[in-house]
Amino acid sequence: MENSFPLIGDKFPSLKVNTTRGPLSLPEDMAGKWFVLFSHPADFTPVCTTEFVAFQKRYAEFKAMNCELVGLSIDQVFSHIKWTQWIKENLGVEIEFPIIADDRGEVAAKLGMVHPGKGNNTVRAVFIVDSEGYTRIMLYYPQELGRNIDEILRALKGMQTSDQHGVAIPAGWPNNELIKDRVIIPPAADVKAAETRMQEHEGYDWWFCHRAL
């Protein structure tokens, strides 16, 4: 199975898929919205179950940022349906976002979600795609490590903040050790701007200035 994936900044590849919520065309059906496409190794597995519950419990936060969630694994749609029914009946959580049934593995191969060194199931891949259909963030985790959904929310908020204000986002934002919830101003592009930068902005040097939002 060939493994490839879109690079950051690439247009997300066009996909026509079947999901637990009906047919879906990506990124076309998400036009004007951000979306997070994430793969999991298999239905009816414990780590994946904890992730789906965590995603669902934060679904309203994603939607508040104009972002949809889409799950995926190499399982048939009836397996997805039965698994989500089990989650609702036994854990009291209804999974409201669609899950792609990639039983032939075609989507997983197109997005580089199957890593032969980790077996034949999908690893835990995450693609964050913007409202124009461009790939902005990619994350890959092995099957044995569950993802931190709060970090995915933070990454989404950080990218949207960067786009809106033309700034860069520091480590751990909005709880950075150096500048707390402030954001980084892009470095000066020429000598004249570098000479005046520290007069115009707060910072450690002309190449490291920051401001409040």
What does the pLDDT look like over 157-203, one tens digit per residue? 999 999 999 999 999 999 999 999 999 999 899 999 999 999 999 99
Q: Is the pLDDT of residue 2 over 60?
A: no
Give the CATH number, domain containing residue 60.
3.40.30.10
Q: How far apart are CA 183 and CA 137, in angstroms?
A: 19
Query: Which is the catalytic residue, given 15, 26, 36, 48?
Result: 48
Give the CATH number, domain containing residue 209.
3.30.1020.10
Residue 84 domain-assigned (yes or no):
yes
Predicted local confidence at residue 4, as pLDDT: 63
Q: Are residues 192 and 98 in the same domain?
A: no
Q: Are residues 47 and 139 in the same domain?
A: yes
Residue 133: which domain range? 15-147
User: Looking at beta carbons, which pairs linking 42-45 to residues 24 or more positions away fall under 8 Å?
Assistant: 42/73, 42/74, 42/75, 42/121, 43/73, 43/75, 43/79, 43/80, 43/82, 43/83, 44/79, 44/83, 44/86
pTM of the predicted protein model: 0.94
Residue 1 domain-assigned (yes or no):
no
Predicted local confidence at residue 119, as pLDDT: 87
Q: Are 146 and 45 in contact (CB under 8 A)?
A: no
b/e sequence 128-167, b meaning 16+ C-beta within 10 Å:
bbbbebebbbbbebebeebbebeebbbbbbbbbbeeeeeb
Closest CA to 68 of 136, 151, 131, 137: 131
38, 40, 44, 47: CA torsion to nearest 10: -100
How many domains are contained in the chain?
Answer: 2
Q: Are residues 62 and 133 in the same domain?
A: yes
Residue 119 domain-assigned (yes or no):
yes
As a whole-number percent, the residues of the chain with pLDDT over 70 amount to 98
- The distance of Cα 161 from the centroid of its chain, to the nearest Å, equals 15
Residue 2 domain-assigned (yes or no):
no
Q: Enumerate residues 6+ apart whose C-beta is below 8 A from 60.
A: none
Query: Has 67 been annotated as catalytic?
Result: no
Strand partners, 137: 128
Residue 114 domain-assigned (yes or no):
yes
Residue 93's CB is within 10 A of a number of other CB atoms, namely 17
Residue 161 domain-assigned (yes or no):
no
